[in-house]
């Protein structure tokens, strides 16, 4: 919220801007980061009537102390399609102020339900639509980072915010499978120019080694490191459903678990590649025996002969 809410228009079309419009018009602004379209309208009072009911129901169902309120990928073109927002802008308002109204009408309510509010980093770091830190109290807000790797983690914690790391360069499990939009000329080439990205905006594919090796506190001071709550892999579902779910998640997510819970270095500070390989092979076998379709990370011969497929460096 407030972006990525086109589905809400099925029940409450009056509170959603640019719903069901073509996402990339031939003329004018793009209106969505990807199909389909729709942002909640922060200038419509009914938005908050509906939203507060949803928040109240959600926090009742889930007792966890955190509530993720989104706020990523606010696309200016979507809000600009709405007449009310157009009038607001013509009177000197800005889209960042529109987002600020949304935060001011929702954050205090979530906090009143004894929840810490998690936002995607965009709410503070976006170059186009963002709010000032003065309305994001550090004691009540956690920021989840997904862009620019260590740089954005540093920006968040150096500003005094707690951080959750979900770098798309390392922790996005859906990357590397090509894009899902049709009529895409990026594939119309004979030189293999998209081999590094796999036709995916966040490609290439994130191997378990890529995930395991990422140090989420790299470049941080000791005090800044204390503000990093942890990391989280993400599997977005544009091209993933129940038929591929197990293999996309496992055992790559297990590599993250070991890296964060047990760290990825031994007592000498060396990365534990070989040990991790053997442990993941064993864990993957256990998952398969329990009916979980986890992907293999080595040939069966390698699993039966631990260490024989290692390199010497």
DSSP 163: E
Q: Is 128 helix (H, G, I), strand (E, B) or coil?
A: coil
The answer to whether residue 73 is catalytic is: yes
Catalytic residue among 14, 34, 64, 73: 73
What count of residues does the chain have?
313
In degrees rounded to 5, what are phi and psi of residue 141?
A: -125, 135
Please give the C-alpha separations between residue 118 and each of 75, 83, 131, in angstroms, as whole numbers: 20, 30, 15
CA distance 188 to 176: 17
* Contact partners, residue 82, CB within 8 Å, separation at least 6: 17, 18, 41, 43
Please, which residues bridge with residue 144 across strands?
A: 120, 164
Among the listed residues 124, 134, 43, the one whose alpha carbon sits nearest the alpha carbon of residue 90: 43
Among the listed residues 195, 156, 193, 152, the one whose alpha carbon sits nearest the alpha carbon of residue 171: 152
| E strands in the chain | 16-17, 39-40, 66-68, 116-120, 141-145, 162-165, 228-231
CA geometry: angle at 236 spanning 234 and 239, to 5°? 140
Note if the bond before 36 is cis, omega within 30 degrees: yes
CA distance 90 to 183: 36
In degrees rounded to 5, what are phi and psi of residue 53?
A: -65, -40
Please list the active-site residues. Answer: 73
């Amino acid at each position: 919220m407030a972006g990525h809410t086109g589905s809400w228009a099925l029940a409450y079309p009056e509170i959603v801007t640019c719903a069901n419009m073509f996402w990339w018009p031939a003329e004018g602004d793009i209106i969505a980061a990807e199909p389909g379209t729709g942002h909640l309208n922060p200038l419509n009072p009914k938005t908050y009537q509906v939203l507060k009911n949803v928040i109240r129901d959600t926090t009742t169902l889930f007792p966890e102390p955190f509530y993720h309120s989104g706020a990523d990928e606010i696309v200016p073109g979507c809000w600009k399609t709405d007449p009310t927002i157009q009038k607001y802008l013509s009177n000197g308002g800005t889209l960042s102020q529109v987002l600020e109204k949304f935060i001011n009408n929702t954050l205090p309510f979530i906090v009143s339900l004894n929840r810490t509010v998690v936002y995607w980093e965009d709410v503070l770091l976006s170059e186009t639509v963002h709010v000032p830190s003065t309305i994001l109290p550090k004691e009540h807000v956690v920021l989840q980072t997904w862009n620019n790797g260590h740089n954005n983690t540093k920006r968040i914690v150096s500003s005094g915010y707690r951080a959750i790391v979900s770098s798309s360069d390392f922790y996005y499990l859906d990357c590397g499978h090509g894009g899902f939009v049709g009529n895409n000329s990026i594939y119309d080439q004979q030189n293999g120019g998209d081999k590094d990205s796999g036709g995916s905006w966040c490609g290439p594919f994130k191997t378990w080694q890529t995930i395991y090796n990422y140090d989420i506190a790299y470049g941080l001071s000791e005090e800044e490191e204390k503000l990093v709550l942890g990391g989280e892999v993400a599997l977005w579902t544009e091209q993933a459903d129940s038929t591929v779910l197990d293999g996309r998640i496992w055992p790559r997510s297990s590599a993250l678990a070991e890296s964060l819970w047990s760290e990825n270095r031994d007592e000498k500070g060396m990365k534990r590649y070989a040990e991790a390989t053997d442990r993941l092979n064993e864990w993957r076998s256990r998952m398969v025996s329990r009916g979980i379709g986890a992907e293999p990370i080595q040939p069966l011969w390698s699993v039966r002969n631990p260490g024989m497929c290692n390199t010497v460096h």
